[in-house]
Amino acid sequence: MPAQDASQTPPPPPSVEEKWDHFTRETFAYFTLGAGAFDAAVSQATRSAPLYGRHWNAYPKRFGASVTDIATQNFFGDFLLASAFHEDTRYLRRGPPHKLWPRIGYAISRSVVVRKDSGGETFNFANVAGTAMSAALSNAYYPPVSRTAREAATNWGTSVAGSGLANLMPEFWPDFRSFVKRHLPRLHR
C-alpha cells in the first residue's frame, strides 16, 4: 500500500484487523528481505552483534536474525502495541509541496511521533516499546555473547533510529519513480 500524502485528509483510523493487515504487508514485503540482507551485511562487515563469528558462513545466521528482528518489531509495533495504545502507525508522507530538509526531519521524527486513532499526534509508544520488546526477544536466538543488557540496549537504540531512517523510503520513493519516468522513459517500460 503506497504511503498517503499527509497534506490530504488523513485516512480513517485503522481497525485492529487493518492493523494486522498492515503488519503482514510490511513484514512479508521484498523490502524486508532487502533490509535484512543490508543489516546482516553491515553487522558482518563491522563485526557487530549478533556475534555469530567472523567468517562469511556467519552471514546466513545474521540474515536470519535480522529478518526475525524486523518481523518481531513489526508485530509488536505495528499490530500488538499499536492496537493497545490506539496508535495509527501508517506512514503519511509530506510530499513535494514541502522543502527537502523539513521532509527529512518529518520522516525521521515518525519513529518517535505518531498519529493517535482519535486524531492528533502523540509519542510513538508502539514503535519505541515494540522495538524494546523485539530487542529483549532477540536474546532467544542471538548467540550467548550477544545476550547482554548492553547489546540489547544497542539493538533497541539502533532499531528506533533505523525505523526513522526507513521512513525516508516511502517519503522519497514516489519522487524518485516520477523522476525516472520523466527522464529515463526507456528504462521504465
Cβ atoms 69, 130 nearer than 8 A: no
**Confidence at residue 133, expressed as pLDDT on a 0 to 100 scale:** 97
Element (H, E) at 177: helix 168-183
**Cα–Cα distance measured from residue 30 to residue 43, given in angstroms and rounded to the nearest whole number:** 20
**Confidence at residue 41, expressed as pLDDT on a 0 to 100 scale:** 94
> What single DSSP character describes residue 75?
I
Domain boundaries, the chain: 15-188
At residue 113, φ and ψ (nearest 5 deg) are -125, 135
pLDDT per position as a tens digit, 117-140: 999 999 999 999 999 999 999 999
**Confidence at residue 1, expressed as pLDDT on a 0 to 100 scale:** 46
**Confidence at residue 135, expressed as pLDDT on a 0 to 100 scale:** 94
Residues 6 or more apart whose CB falls under 8 angstroms from that of 138 comprise: 50, 65, 68, 69, 72, 152, 155
Residue 31 has pLDDT above 80, yes or no: yes
**Residue 174's closest CA among 34, 32, 5, 12?**
5
Question: Greater confidence, 180 or 79?
Answer: 79
HEC states along 53-73? Answer: CCCHHHHHHHHHHHHHHHHHH
ω into 50 cis (within 30 of 0): yes
pLDDT per position as a tens digit, 66-92: 999 999 999 999 999 999 999 999 999
> How high does pLDDT run on average in the chain?
92
pLDDT per position as a tens digit, 134-178: 999 999 999 999 999 999 999 999 999 999 999 999 999 999 988
At residue 125, φ and ψ (nearest 5 deg) are -60, -40
Average confidence (pLDDT) over 11-18:
95
